[in-house]
Amino acid sequence: MPRTLSHFGLRPLLFLLLLLAALSLTGTSHASGEAAPKEGILLVAFGTSVPEAQPAFKAVDAEFKKAFPGAPVVWAYTSQIIRKKLAEQGQPVGGISDGLAQLAKDGVKVVRVQSLHVLAGEEFTALERAVLLDVSKNPGRFESVFMGRPMLESKGDAQELLAAIKADTKSARGKNTALVLMGHGQSHGRADLAFEGVYAVFKSTDKNIHMATVEGARNFDDMLEGLKAAKIKHVVIAPLMLVAGDHARNDLAGDEDDSWATQLKKAGIKVDAHLKGLGETPGAAAILVRHAKESTDDLTKEPRKP
């Protein structure tokens, strides 16, 4: 006769099996139901107090909120002068430390700091240093702090931006109309070579593009010489900057004697202004979003070399 377990012998076995099943379900539920660390975005720009420049910032803000649904999006301006001016107007915007503190208050554990600079010049270097300093002062506050690179880092970035700019200015340009772009630049030369690289990419695609900077090595006179050599008689001027702020409205398209528009007209060139920042140019903000998503540069950890 086969051996069978008695009624009393089954009880401990059934209990053990039920207990193991319960523990297994509990462990599975915890693993699958555990929420991922909350992510947040810190958008960092130099800042502007020009009301007409705000559409660019609003467009960038909307682009990031669409790309990171549910994630807090906080802004920081690096210019103390602009922050003070806005605070006096009752429109305060904090600095980098303020923004990181707000994200921590919001329960964020993974921060993506995205530079809104066009090129990695002096302002971007200061931004990196400020974020690193804040991270070192508040160890363990965040699990990760990723740093997104500026808009133009690679040849692909430049080609993508140029396509966006050309599409946005197409209706204003005729067959022989040149596009004149004003970059910011920096008096000490930072980003000069990067700017030249961008210019080379742009020029290889469209020979009727001419560029110069407000403060960099490639200046207005260099650009005007190029326009005269190409016998250009009509240009569309536009800022190669995130916003169409003070530089765009005064240095580029203003009525002053030293503005680019005035000097171009004196040179016998017809001028039309396209006062639209890159932030509000369709397709341009997508580059910044991509850089934020692709960044693996975690400032809370030592750099790793392959």
Q: Which residues are annotated binding-site positions for Co(2+)? A: 184, 215, 247
Q: What angle do CA 143, 144, 146 make, to 5 degrees?
A: 170
Q: Is 291 a catalytic residue?
A: no
Q: How far apart are CA 185 and CA 177, in angstroms?
A: 25
94 CB-near residues (< 8 Å, 6+ apart): 75, 76, 77, 83, 102
Single-letter amino acid code for the residue at 155: K
Expressed in angstroms, the distance from the first to the final Cα of the chain is: 68
Would you list which residues are annotated within the binding site?
Answer: 184, 215, 247
7, 30, 117, 184: the catalytic one is: 184
Residues noted as catalytic: 184
